[in-house]
Chain A
């Protein structure tokens, strides 16, 4: 079955860190670019970060630049998002999404991150 499964979400205090993982299965992970997209409770979607299949090119939204780091392990079909310096406004459901022709053609079910004191 083709799927993406996120893990690593949780609750953290402002200034803290979390590392999200996304396990891919059922497709050739090393061929596809990948993204992280988030959705704050009751709000819309926000693109967070992008990484090419070889990790040669990486982009971040201005809102997370300098605090979040995207990476991938093609040998184990894993995508990561290291989140440092977390803020209350980073509270959201974080989706990993496969890239296809400038779109996101496959999504996981999301990992919830709550930043609160």
Chain B
């Protein structure tokens, strides 16, 4: 159950876009369309942004989008806003033996 790999940090100016990668293996990210993304502000619980690679729950702005290619999933935040400054985590289903694995997390800074 090795954690999925995310860059430690990412940044962008207001209005710009930032993309965060989430790299796993064929046993997790690459093997299933079951990647989800979460936003966590300091001292708060995580919030679901994307599920099943590309789907957005009701209430999540369209600025947040997900994609996947091979063993790497990505989250793109378009039109960056100050309130997007937070930690972001991916997770993936990892099969019936390992079940679920989180990414290492990425801190997004809005310059």
Contact = CB atoms under 8 A, between A and B. Distances in A.
Are A and B co-members of a single complex? yes
Interface of A: 35, 37, 44-47, 50, 59, 61-63, 95, 100-110
Interface string B12-28: 00000000000000000
A50 B100 CA distance: 9
Nearest to A62: B1
A47 B40 CA distance: 15
Contact of A95 (B45, B89, B91): B45
Interface residues of B, number: 27
Interface of B: 1, 3, 32, 34, 36, 38, 40, 45-48, 51-52, 55, 57, 89, 91, 93, 96, 98-105
10 contacts: A35-B100, A45-B38, A50-B99, A102-B100, A103-B48, A103-B51, A103-B91, A104-B91, A105-B51, A110-B45
Given A47-B91, A107-B46, A101 B103 contact: no
A50 B94 CA distance: 13
Nearest to B99: A59
Contacts of B36: 102-104
B100 A101 contact: no
Instruction: Report whether over half of chain A's contact residues are helix, strand or loop; otherwise say mixed.
Output: strand
Nearest to B44: A109
- Choose among B36, B45, B51 the residue with the greatest number of A CB atoms under 10 Å from its CB: B45
A52 to B, nearest CB: 12
A56 B51 CA distance: 24
A103 B35 CA distance: 8
